Structure 1
């Protein structure tokens, strides 16, 4: 089934949403700021600060999210601290490399390999917009707009692989070809509604 196209009428809101995709918000808890290092100043000259495990795991999470190298991450975090006017220092990249082996952190990486089986399910979505506002304000009788969101997941890891939005009457079987095209991973079988199974060639 070909991918559905929808006409955009609220260009102002749509344009703002596209800009918001690039927005960056960083929030640090007060307790984290206070406890960033165990000692505010080293006891001896030249002695490095001792950073708590929370500081190490925080920057490692940022490394994973933004896909930065350790050196680039140091510049990135230092720039954030400067913009936020925080009296914090980023641990040296060499220290991060060493401490990463000792701290306990679980960062889920995208799964690769074959999916067996691929699970498909769909749910209805009610579309809100100008029409719905008119119904509430004026009580006019208006046909409600619905769409159907189809998602595929790896049954072993529960990882959501891809999703597709279609008209409300589209079945899982009809949405399957478009979903498979997005998957980009091999799968021998797809399961829908816990009962229907579709053999796949790719």
Structure 2
């Protein structure tokens, strides 16, 4: 409503006979708005990193939970992102209910792009046959750490079985992560941090279709900011 008043004042100063739509009008129209973000359709992606985060729809803040405990009515949505580790550009994005697991959302997420991808990195939540089968179908090298004590899978799961063999030899996934440069996956976490710092960690609309449009608008805005330029870090000591 503050933004509405601000825009109305600009119209008034410019002598433009227009009125800014009120919040209720925007909320109703958001249900039918089809917001999509466009990324380059050509060019190889060397390394795609995948992760997800929660966006709050309804619920108490952290301070209230800390002081008085958590109430039952808390509603979240999960934002799934696939990011080009070189350009920091979000290539694929999806919004799901909070009861949808990361591995269940993965196939639909990765199918949004038809560009050639050399490798894709994700955390242990994606260590399922569903995810590995989708990566094999698209001929993408899988960089997904197997769970502790994982066993070999029969069939064409060479990437995963190599990771399992390395885990059994060294006792952990640490060496495998170092040799495969898996730690680039932290760029996906950086993208999640940027979303929450720049736009907040919550969705304002209550209708699910409106929430999808709102989330895609956030992704589109973040990609535009990324294209404008990313900060360059220089070591000084």
Bigger radius of gyration:
1
Higher relative contact order (CA 8 A, sep 6+): 2
Flag the structure with higher helix content: 2
Shared fold by TM > 0.5?
Answer: no
The interval holding the TM-score normalised by the smaller chain is 0.3 to 0.5
Taking structure 2 as the reference length, the TM-score comes to 0.33
